[in-house]
Amino acid sequence: MEWLDAISESNAICSAILAVIHPKLYDAGLQAIQRLRGTPDVNRQDVLRHWASVFSGVSVISNRRSPPHRDSGSRFNWYDLLVTLGTYRSLHLNLPGLGISLEYGPGTVVGISGMVLDHEVPEVEGDRVCYAYFMKDNVHAWAEVPGRDWMDIKHYE
C-alpha cells in the first residue's frame, strides 16, 4: 500500500494524459474502477482505496530488454501508456511494423496500441525503469463497461 501511495500522483498524471489523448477510453477506465470500488464482494478493496488510476494495472519493467512483442488481454483500439525513467542515454522505442524508431529518453511518455503494434526496447547501459499502464478486457467485461471506439477527433467536440 505504501508503494501505491508513493506513485499515486504519477498514476493520476498518467490518467490525465489518457484523458487528453483518448477521452472516451479515460471515461471507460474510470467507470470500470468505480464499479470495482462499488462492489463490496471484490475482496481487494484495500488496494482499490489506494489505486489512483483509470488503468486496470501497471507493470514495472526494470533494466531489461523488451523483445518485439504485442500485448494481450487488452482491446485493439485501447492505448497503453509507457513511461520510462532513469539515468540511461540513447535509447529508442522501436515499432518494427511501422518501420520507425522513437527517441525514448528518461521522462518520455508514449501512448501506444500495444495489442496492434509490435514494439521493442533494446538493452541500454545505465538504470532504466518503465511503467507500462494498461487496461484489461476481462475487467471491463466484468464491469459491463462497453468497448470504446478508436480515438477520433470527434471525441473533442
Domain limits, the chain: 2-144
Give the tens place of pLDDT for each residue, 111-124: 999 999 999 999 99
Give the tens place of pLDDT for each residue, 30-59: 999 999 988 888 777 788 888 899 999 999
Cell numbers 522513437 label which residue? 102
* CATH number corresponding to 2-144: 3.60.130.30
* Dist CA 51 CA 48 (whole Å): 5
In order along the chain (157 residues), what is the average pLDDT of each group of 10 residues?
Answer: 90 96 93 90 79 93 92 89 95 95 96 93 94 93 83 69
pLDDT at residue 67, rounded to an integer: 92
The DSSP line for 85-134 is EES--S-EEEETTTTEEEE--TTEEEEE-TTTS-EEE---SS-EEEEEEE
* Dist CA 55 CA 12 (whole Å): 10
pLDDT at residue 129, rounded to an integer: 95
